A and B are shown apart, each in its own frame.
Chain A
Amino acid sequence: MTVEQILFLLAGAVILVSAFLVVTVRKLMHAALWLVVTLFGVAVLYALLQANFLAVVQLVVYIGAIAILFIFAVMLTRKEMRDLGPQTRSNWWVAVLVGAAVLMGLVFVVLAIPGVERTAQVLPEGLDTVQALGVALVSPNAYVLPFEVASVLLLAALIGAVYLAGIIKK
């Protein structure tokens, strides 16, 4: 077993355990903090996949913005959710069944992919993935359109969030 495999297994175990806690733990604040652990584990996997940029962006965007937003939302809506009663619906077992069925289906599909046991080749010599990603995001024959759509979406979300959460004076 190589160092990389050990790292993967460690990160994978952290991700699965913390993700399980995110959906089961009773206190919402703890769920949000476990989400941070999960996201950190995913960032480690990105680093293992040599996607440095995405690993760091994962930290900046998910932990620096999204997780903090969640924590704020939990705090701002805390008065009513006392975290005392059960946090799951009465028919949670249906959710278990659906989750298990989806997992089965996905595993089945994954194992049916030809060449799924392949290992990664070494990155091509002289390929700067950060630069390549930057070029791909703005070059017209690559992904400039999805990139621009994403930026319009972000602007719309910004305005929408301000309108929804802001206290509008009449």
Chain B
Amino acid sequence: MTFWNDPINLIANWLNTLLTGWGVPASLATVLIYFIGITVLVVFAMVLDIGLVWVERKVVARFQDRLGPNRLGPFGLIQPIADIIKMVIKEDITPAGAEKVLYNIAPVLSATSVIMLWAILPLAANIYGVDLNVALLYIVAMGALGTLAIIIAGWASNNKYALLGAFRMVANMVAYEIPMVIVLLIPTILAGTMSVIGITEAQRNLWFVFLSPLGAVIFMISAIAELGRSPFDLNEAESEIVAGFHIEYTGMKFGWFYASELLHAFTFGGFAAILFFGGYNGFFGLEQFPAFSWLNIPFVQALVFIVKAMIGYWVIMWVKYSMPRIRIDHMLAFNWKFLVPLSLVLLVVTAILHRILVVLPTWQYALGMFAANIVIITATIEILRAHGRKQRQAEYALLKTQ
């Protein structure tokens, strides 16, 4: 066991011998080491979050044909620090008539629900918080906490815009949770486990995106809806309800919402990478060849993972900054009438085909799964097209009679 092969366990063991050497009882030493580990993980996530502020601002600037932050430091890299200082020294307002305790808990709860997700995020084969055997459900559970944070924020602010935003957000999140849960079952079926480590290891040779491209797309859509980002950003909808649930929040309290939204987006990029794009693995089992054995070094794996998560995050930003907001009834109808049935069909087909084809050689199995997805996509598009044509003809006939 060297530093390059297993850094976390090495440091933990070293700390353990150090602490017990100082006369700390073994059980207390374990608790202390866990505590240090949690702190380091949270600090890492938050520092990364500061970086994400810069990434987000720079990317949105490029999408809108601007330069973005470019004054402070090289490429404006110090801009987020300035943003933080600005937020910290802003006036901290609690509106009259607000529920003080709840009003202050909401941003903390919002950030907590995101940081808790980092407990199960495997950066590398042996750099992770905990390997839960119910990790995928845990993702959904933390989403529930985020929903709760938003509804508390909306209610405690004592503001009708805030309450409307919270209502919309909860309708959105509760609705899109269903296709997300169904789609989370697809990697579970393919890998035979709900542990994220197990799912990543099952993708050593073949990413799940090739077995279930439709699943990956549905996951991305429902993830964007869970995040409440455009085109599903009805919770904020600046043109209608000003800023939605965080309208009354100022200074760093708003900062927490902002930071947790960015980190949440990045984290979901990471989960997309884990569930469908092989997580910390290289491409197509490349690391099995001696020439590429360096891909197995934990730090390289962590780098690969972060790059993949960044790409997922970039896709989320790409959608956000190029799509207009959709109306709430359209959004709910899109979920209940389109995504839920589609994901159910996909789940049933995947489960049956996986059962039948898993005995075949890998390439035939992969081809069969991929072809099934293509068939489902084609059928969906054909149904939509037929439906649209019928609607157009009905409108045309109506126009003629008038």
Contacts and interface: CB of A to CB of B under 8 A. Distances in A.
Physical contact A–B (CB less than 8 Å) = yes
A21 interface: no
Interface of chain B: mostly helix, strand, loop or mixed: helix
Interface string A3-19: 10000000000000000
B132 A52 contact: yes
Nearest to B135: A56
Contact of A64 (B31, B143, B163): B143
Contact of B148 (A52, A53, A68): A68
B357 interface: no
A4 B163 CA distance: 40
Contacts of B209: none
Contacts of A55: 134
Contacts of A75: 155, 163
B189 to A, nearest CB: 12
Contacts of A33: 102, 152
Interface string B134-173: 1001101111110110011001000000010000001000
B55 interface: no
A52 B133 contact: yes
A126 B371 CA distance: 37
A111 B152 CA distance: 41
B174 interface: yes
A34 B53 CA distance: 35
A60 B148 contact: no
A63 interface: yes
Interface of chain A: mostly helix, strand, loop or mixed: helix
Interface string A57-83: 101100111011001100100000000
Contact of B140 (A36, A64, A67, A68): A64
A107 B4 CA distance: 56
A101 B137 CA distance: 39
A63 B145 contact: yes
Interface residues of A, number: 21
Contact of A59 (B27, B31, B141, B177): B141
B274 interface: no
Nearest to B30: A3
Contact of A60 (B27, B141, B151, B194): B141
Contacts of A60: 137, 140-141, 144
Contacts of B143: 64
Interface residues of B, number: 24
B191 to A, nearest CB: 13
Contact of B141 (A64, A67, A72, A128): A64
A64 B176 CA distance: 12
B308 to A, nearest CB: 25
Interface in A23-73: 29, 33, 36, 52-53, 55-57, 59-60, 63-65, 67-68, 71-72
Nearest to A71: B151
Interface string A124-140: 00001010000000000
Nearest to A75: B155
Contact of A3 (B31, B102, B147, B163): B31
A57 B102 contact: no
A130 B148 contact: no
A36 B137 contact: no
Contacts of B134: 52-53, 55-56, 130
Given A52-B132, A128-B133, A130-B134, A68 B155 contact: no
Sorted from nearest, which 5 A-B pairs have the closest CB atoms? A64-B144, A59-B141, A56-B137, A56-B134, A52-B134
Interface of B: 27, 31, 102, 132-134, 137-138, 140-145, 147-148, 151-152, 155, 163, 170, 174, 177, 194
Given A3-B27, A60-B141, A63-B148, 4 more contacts: A59-B145, A63-B144, A64-B143, A68-B170
19 contacts: A3-B31, A29-B155, A56-B137, A56-B138, A56-B140, A56-B141, A59-B145, A60-B141, A63-B144, A64-B140, A64-B144, A64-B147, A64-B177, A65-B144, A71-B155, A128-B133, A130-B133, A130-B134, A130-B194
